[in-house]
């Protein structure tokens, strides 16, 4: 398979050794993994097969394996869970262990539920406990801001607190301000008892070490969980009782936490190395003409090779700490999953979320699990069973691996493989993804490109659907089908819901996921969070209020304001977005088009958005609403390879405002320094205006309607 330009950007930035190519990377990883086989003939045989399934993009192991194996002493596993007990020694040992894990490229999950609540008495020192959140903040700073995962990105963590912990309300409020605990995903550990209490609208006790600290309405607490998910996608929920009832290793103890993306519920010190089969490649026949089917034999071959590959990773791996090595070699857990499911649906002319897609998910995942189980049993006979089968009554048949399957998000892997991610639908048919440090990737799915090139039309059939076309119920049905059919770990699934999704819909979705046997779920309402690279570290701007606006009143617009002039390419021409600031914040926005589009509409939108800003509407709310808007002209232009930078003029307006806000402090400071505006104007003309030239093209500048305009109509520079 040919590697895409986006894949090459990612590989060059994160994976390639100096001078390496994709083929050479596959070779070094394959040889390292094949080193698990003792006989040279077996090493040669399996080395070729491992290289083939990676080089062809039929299967890829998780990022640490691709990056580290055959190159350094880094770990090849991605998922870890560490214990946290209620003592200083345990807490700071776990912090030290987490630093070691993340330095080698792994993500860590931890339950903070065993830490005593804030304000509790500490008998040994006569002190007062600071509570779980205080330690979470220490972990967040140490792991995220000081240590980078494998030297390439900030650390990733999952922080879980049980729903019956006395500090649960503090936990739910922890990420209301964006940018706090930025290196943690937060999830509430939900119990069946709590869900039943919510269902019955009864009271619920918050308990620590059998002591009841508070009794409150379960429904009120549930509302706070839903509020957080509605506000910014956090917290997610993990269903602890569901996880433990269905844990293949439940005789070993109770699971309290998962890895950062939730697909691997693990016991303390357990790890799991993951790999994903590219289902888009498991198709034979002419899919565009509707003559394609699943290549079941290829799928089975790939599963057999992938299971052996992942098992060998365990044997040749380098482990960051001794406890993890011990538990991993004892349980030998692997996580074989999928990517490209949405693309497989398209190639089968099946709409994602339909009954047919549910049946497809069940059939594919069931077959993967069946073949993986057979392979692991055979491997056990060849190389020895996982020691856990000798120590615990786990039942028969015994096999080489304690767990077999999972569904990971595959965010980066799917970009390398040029397919849809995990079990998710295509997010859009053109979009920008913040994937690399300080860089964004423009994404047009391969299936869209193939269709347009072959059919010579940008009109897509109805089975080409994206996230916005799929209902919340359909999302959950796909997740539940995969979970029940052949996933013994978990399914990482994020429901990307429309901006106008209401809270009751989120509540119903969480209940449905629990009732259908999902192990966890996350819902993100589009536009509810500023996630672009330019603004991830920015706390949402709070306008300095000098007085309270009455209903219908607009904030005074000073004579002089300042701000950037931002140019973007749309399907209809150039779009200019000029957000302007006074000393308190952004107060107005000027918008116009050059070379096409409706000038009257863009001018009207600029006026309306300025009124919104002057009426006190949050800029972040405006950004979220505008960026969620797509237009057919831009979609078609991007799909056909044209140089278009935004999904719609409205999205460009939101993007322009977002970029300007990332420099808000600078522009506010400039606005403060502007002296009395009257001294800078003389009979409506700026001093020296006749001698000014355009900074972009050098043409003469003239004034119109209070703005400076370039006289070159093709340039379009302006400053108001």
Reading the block at residue 437, the tokens are 């440090």
pLDDT tops 50 at residue 252: yes
DSSP state letters, 485-520: HH-SS-B--EEEE-TT--HHHHHHHHHHHHHTT-SE
pLDDT on residue 436: 66
Give, in degrees to the nearest 5, the angle at Cα 10 between 409 and 422: 15
pLDDT one-digit tens code per residue, 196-223: 999 999 999 999 999 999 999 999 999 9
Alpha-carbon 707 to chain mean position: 42
Q: What is the mean pLDDT of residues 565-569?
A: 87
- What number of residues does the chain have? 720
Higher pLDDT pick, 420 / 683: 420
Residues in CB range of 281: below 8 A, 6 or more apart? 1, 56, 57, 58, 298, 340, 419
Catalytic residue among 27, 263, 588, 658: 263
* Confidence class for position 514, pLDDT limits 50, 70, 90: very high
* Confidence class for position 661, pLDDT limits 50, 70, 90: confident
Reading the block at residue 110, the tokens are 């931890």
Cβ–Cβ < 8 Å for 646, 570: yes
Reading the block at residue 484, the tokens are 């029940």
Spatial separation of the C-alpha atoms in residues 23 and 693, rounded to whole Å: 53
Reading the block at residue 258, the tokens are 């998962």
pLDDT on residue 544: 38
Right CATH for 5-74+259-492 from 3.40.50.300, 3.90.550.10, 3.30.70.580, 3.20.70.20: 3.20.70.20
Higher pLDDT pick, 261 / 528: 261
Catalytic residue among 26, 75, 79, 261: 261
Residues in CB range of 87: below 8 A, 6 or more apart? none
Residue 261 annotated in active site = yes
Q: Give the other-Cβ count within 10 Å of 277's Cβ.
A: 25
pLDDT tops 60 at residue 108: yes
pLDDT on residue 532: 34
Q: List where CATH 3.90.1010 sits in the chain.
A: 541-674
**Helix/strand/coil for 75:** coil
In angstroms, the Cα distances linking 405 to 143, 362, 599 are 29, 14, 54
Spatial separation of the C-alpha atoms in residues 412 and 434, rounded to whole Å: 11
pLDDT tops 80 at residue 62: yes
pLDDT tops 80 at residue 691: no
Higher pLDDT pick, 499 / 476: 476
Backbone angles phi, psi at 464, to 5 degrees: -85, 95
pLDDT tops 80 at residue 8: yes
Placement of tokens 């926005």 in the chain? 589
* Confidence class for position 670, pLDDT limits 50, 70, 90: confident
Cβ–Cβ < 8 Å for 349, 461: yes
In angstroms, the Cα distances linking 474 to 355, 406, 697 are 9, 20, 52
Please report the beta strands in 139-202, taking only residues with DSSP state E, as ranges in sequence order.
148-149, 153-154, 157-162, 184-190
Residue 263 annotated in active site = yes
Q: List where CATH 3.20.70.20 sits in the chain.
A: 5-74+259-492
pLDDT tops 70 at residue 118: yes
Cβ–Cβ < 8 Å for 409, 449: no
Cβ–Cβ < 8 Å for 394, 251: yes
Q: Which top CATH class is 541-674?
A: alpha beta
Q: Which residues pair with 562 in a beta bridge?
A: 581
pLDDT tops 90 at residue 626: no
Backbone angles phi, psi at 554, to 5 degrees: -110, 140
Higher pLDDT pick, 698 / 59: 59
pLDDT on residue 692: 60
pLDDT on residue 156: 82
Q: Which residues pair with 543 in a beta bridge?
A: none
pLDDT tops 80 at residue 660: yes
Q: What is the mean pLDDT of residues 16-25?
A: 96
pLDDT one-digit tens code per residue, 135-166: 999 998 888 666 655 555 556 899 999 999 99
Spatial separation of the C-alpha atoms in residues 580 and 232, rounded to whole Å: 27
Mean pLDDT of the chain: 87
Spatial separation of the C-alpha atoms in residues 511 and 331, rounded to whole Å: 32
* Confidence class for position 171, pLDDT limits 50, 70, 90: very high
Element (H, E) at 341: helix 341-347
Residues in CB range of 429: below 8 A, 6 or more apart? 444, 445, 448, 460, 464, 466, 635, 638, 639
pLDDT tops 60 at residue 630: yes
Q: Using a pLDDT cut of 70, give the percent of the chain over it.
A: 87
Give, in degrees to the nearest 5, the angle at Cα 617 between 612 and 618: 130
pLDDT tops 80 at residue 438: no
Element (H, E) at 523: strand 520-525
Q: Which residues pair with 524 in a beta bridge?
A: 496
CA dihedral of residues 309, 315, 320, 321 (deg, nearest 10)? 140
Placement of tokens 């380098």 in the chain? 318
Residue 232 annotated in active site = no
Spatial separation of the C-alpha atoms in residues 710 and 689, rounded to whole Å: 12
Q: What is the DSSP letter of 129?
A: -
pLDDT on residue 290: 95
Alpha-carbon 161 to chain mean position: 21
pLDDT on residue 684: 42
Give the closest residue to 58 by CA, choosing from 330, 215, 277. 277
Element (H, E) at 284: strand 283-284
pLDDT on residue 396: 77
């Amino acid at each position: 398979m040919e590697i895409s330009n986006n894949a090459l950007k990612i590989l060059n930035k994160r994976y390639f050794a100096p001078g390496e190519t994709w083929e050479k990377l596959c070779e070094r990883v394959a040889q390292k993994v094949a080193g698990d086989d003792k006989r040279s003939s077996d090493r040669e045989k399996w080395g070729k097969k491992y290289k083939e399934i990676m080089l062809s993009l039929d299967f890829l192991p998780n990022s640490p394996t691709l990056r580290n194996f055959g190159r350094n002493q880094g770990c090849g596993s991605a998922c870890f869970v560490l214990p946290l007990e209620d003592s200083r020694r345990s807490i700071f040992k776990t912090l030290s262990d987490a630093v070691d894990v993340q330095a080698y490229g792994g993500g860590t999950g931890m339950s903070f539920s065993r830490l005593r609540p804030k304000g509790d008495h500490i008998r040994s020192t006569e002190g007062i406990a600071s509570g779980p959140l205080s330690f979470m903040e220490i972990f967040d700073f140490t792991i995220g801001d000081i240590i980078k995962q494998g030297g390439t990105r900030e650390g990733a963590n999952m922080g879980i607190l049980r729903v019956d912990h006395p500090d649960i309300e503090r936990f739910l409020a922890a990420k209301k301000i964006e940018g706090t605990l930025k290196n943690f995903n937060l999830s509430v550990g939900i119990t069946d008892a709590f869900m039943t209490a919510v269902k019955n609208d009864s009271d619920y006790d918050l308990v620590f070490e059998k002591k009841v600290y508070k009794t409150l309405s379960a429904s009120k607490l549930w509302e706070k969980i839903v509020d957080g998910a509605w506000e910014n996608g956090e917290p997610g929920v993990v269903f602890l009782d569901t996880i433990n009832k269905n844990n293949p290793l439940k005789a070993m103890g109770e699971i309290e936490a998962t890895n950062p993306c939730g697909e691997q519920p693990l016991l303390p010190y357990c790890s799991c190395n993951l790999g994903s089969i590219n289902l888009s490649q498991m198709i034979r026949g002419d899919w565009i003409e509707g003559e394609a089917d699943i290549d079941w034999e290829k799928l089975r071959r790939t599963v057999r090779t992938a299971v052996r590959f992942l098992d060998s990773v365990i044997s040749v791996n380098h482990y960051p700490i001794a406890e993890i090595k011990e538990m991993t070699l004892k349980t030998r857990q692997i996580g074989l999953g999928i990517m490209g499911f949405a693309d497989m649906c398209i190639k089968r002319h099946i709409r994602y979320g339909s009954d047919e897609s549910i049946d497809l998910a069940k059939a594919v995942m069931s077959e993967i699990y069946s073949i993986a189980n057979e392979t692991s049993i055979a491997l056990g006979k060849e190389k020895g069973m996982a020691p856990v089968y000798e120590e615990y009554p786990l039942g028969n048949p015994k096999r080489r691996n304690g767990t077999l399957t999972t569904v990971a998000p595959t965010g980066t892997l799917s970009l390398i493989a040029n397919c849809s991610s995990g079990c998710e639908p295509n997010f859009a048919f053109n979009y920008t993804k913040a994937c690399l440090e300080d860089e964004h990737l423009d994404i047009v799915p391969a299936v869209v490109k193939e269709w347009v090139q072959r059919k010579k039309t940008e009109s897509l059939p109805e089975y080409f659907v994206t996230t916005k076309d799929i209902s919340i119920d359909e999302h959950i049905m796909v997740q539940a089908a995969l979970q029940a059919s052949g996933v013994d770990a978990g399914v990482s699934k994020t429901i990307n819901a429309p901006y106008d999704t209401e809270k009751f819909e989120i509540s119903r979705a969480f209940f449905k996921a629990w009732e259908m046997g999902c192990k966890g779920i996350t819902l993100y309402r589009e536009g509810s969070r500023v996630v672009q690279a330019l603004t991830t570290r920015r706390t949402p701007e709070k306008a300095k209020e000098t007085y309270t606006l009455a209903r219908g009143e607009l904030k005074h617009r000073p004579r002089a304001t300042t701000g950037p002039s931002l140019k973007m390419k749309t399907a209809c021409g150039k779009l200019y977005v000029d957000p302007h600031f006074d000393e308190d914040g952004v107060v107005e926005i000027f918008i116009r088009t050059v070379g096409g589009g409706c000038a009257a509409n863009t001018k009207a939108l600029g006026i309306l958005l300025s009124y919104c800003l002057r009426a006190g509407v949050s800029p972040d709310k405006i950004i979220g609403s505008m960026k969620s808007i797509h237009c057919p002209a831009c979609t078609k232009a991007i799909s056909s390879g044209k140089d278009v930078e935004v999904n719609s003029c409205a999205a460009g307006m939101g993007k322009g405002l977002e970029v300007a806000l990332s420099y808000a402090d600078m522009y506010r400071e400039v606005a403060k320094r502007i002296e009395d505006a009257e001294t800078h104007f003389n009979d409506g003309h700026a001093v020296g205006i006749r001698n000014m030239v355009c900074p972009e093209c050098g043409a003469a500048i003239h004034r119109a309607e209070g703005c400076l305009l370039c006289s070159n109509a093709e340039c379009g520079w302006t400053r108001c």
